[in-house]
A and B are shown apart, each in its own frame.
Chain A
């Protein structure tokens, strides 16, 4: 077993971190996730766990894209498991660099998130269906992803031991997304109605319960819409999540850079809504 993942020293990039009384005190930490491996090979299994304690704030970035390399054996695949827990009044912003699905690769990814009612989360994902610069697209075998967001069990919301276990499996489930993106066997891959560009992205923007009023969500949705109008290179839209705690943003673009710039702007929209400082190194 090897441990290819590590993190950089903490950067404190915000002088004060706060501009309004909406927020509790505490600077935000900026970290880079570093990967010493060349990427994912057949049979690789990467596990990552992130836990944010009460009142903490983290902006996590990647050092480089995750390359899912060619796996010539038909049944071979790599797996990624992410566990994320964000505590009371804590905030995680995580914009990983793209996943690049090389020809004949297969990847299965699961992301399990538990959030306190007063936690915030901005989590992005960008998928490249091949090494686009060399004209390789949809030559991978399969990308399967499951994202699940649940409420963090606390003394207040844990049912009493004798309470009936009604609807137990879905009880604390806020949101699930399961994608099954086929490559070589995708009959729709080249059709414009499947995707208008090669770069696929999604962004989960979850606000603390006390911030996520319908008015603020409506305002945030309007700000996200303006990103599309201002930046015609990215096709994106948003919708209110099942719990009413935030927005789910879907995006399609022709280049990774456009998508990343757009997602950083979206995070700035969330920060602006809460009176926080904008991301450093302005987008």
Chain B
């Protein structure tokens, strides 16, 4: 099997919802917005996903991922921990921090058994001792690098997993159907490409976000009296 084909299979394994990292339990504020009737149709779901991609995920998670990937490639565990600490400090919503940490730890556990590597062993030890937060984008970057994905492929796999997770949540919340989910997924492909390309060029100090209403929804998610999703 060629290296390229091998990489593509790794990419599909990491990006598939079949991979048990727990991200399918997250709606990223969608559930709160659906409950408050701010999102009622497919157009609004599409705008919600675009907003998250262009004004939050592209500017923070992907930038952190790109830097953690490079740190892993340099075998620099201190730099990985630094990216993890900065992303944690720049995640103001408690529920998001908790979700990032839980899915990061789940990913680390599964990856340690699937792609055994000294970096993952060291990160597991540091996590157990509370030295790193083990946030999902950071761990995803390290796992992708160890599994020999190119950086752009790692970014694409992360974004694909993020988008399919939200669209899956939208289906489960009953706001869109399976066909509409596929149409949205296709429509936002240019945004997914653009943020992957931009993230790899951004300095870590320049991580940013700007989603005022979604921030409120994410803050309220934890206080919903009934909910399906963790975030």
Binding site for B on A (CB under 8 A): 144, 166-171, 173-182, 187-188, 191-196, 200, 225, 235-242, 248, 250, 252
Contacts and interface: CB of A to CB of B under 8 A. Distances in A.
Given A167-B78, A239-B219, A252 B85 contact: no
B47 interface: yes
Contacts of A195: 212-213
Given A175-B90, A188-B55, A194-B51, 4 more contacts: A171-B85, A176-B86, A196-B213, A250-B216
Nearest to B206: A178
B223 interface: yes
A200 B85 CA distance: 28
A183 B39 CA distance: 24
B80 to A, nearest CB: 10
A10 to B, nearest CB: 33
A267 B222 CA distance: 23
A193 B38 contact: yes
A182 to B, nearest CB: 8
A194 B216 CA distance: 11
Most buried by B among A178, A192, A194, A239: A239
Contacts, number: 101
Interface in B186-221: 206-216, 218-220
Contacts of B220: 237
Given A176-B89, A188-B47, A193-B33, A239 B213 contact: no
Contacts of A177: 90, 92
B21 to A, nearest CB: 22
B211 A194 contact: yes
Given A179-B209, A188-B47, A188-B55, A170 B82 contact: yes
Interface stretch (B6-14, B93-101, B117-125, B155-163): B93-101
A124 to B, nearest CB: 15
7 contacts: A173-B86, A192-B213, A193-B44, A195-B213, A237-B216, A242-B89, A242-B97
A236 B216 CA distance: 7
Interface string B11-45: 00000000000000000000001000011000010
A252 B86 contact: no
Most buried by A among B86, B90, B97: B90
B92 A193 contact: no
Given A179-B209, A237-B216, A193 B51 contact: yes
A169 B92 contact: no
A192 B38 contact: yes
A188 B209 CA distance: 13
Contacts of B222: 239
A179 B211 CA distance: 9
A240 B89 contact: no
A195 B215 CA distance: 10
Nearest to A127: B212
A151 B116 CA distance: 37
Nearest to B219: A237
B140 interface: no
B210 A248 contact: no
B48 A193 contact: yes
A238 B215 CA distance: 9
A193 B90 contact: no
Contact of B89 (A166, A170, A180): A170
Contact of B78 (A166, A176, A252): A166
A242 B86 contact: no
Contacts of B207: 178
Contacts of B54: 187-188
B182 interface: no
Contact of A239 (B44, B81, B93): B93
A36 B98 CA distance: 46
Most buried by A among B86, B88, B213: B213
Contacts of B82: 167-170
Given A193-B38, A250-B216, A175 B89 contact: yes
A181 B78 contact: no
- Shortest beta-carbon contacts, A-B, top 3: A170-B85, A237-B219, A178-B208
Contacts of A196: 38, 213
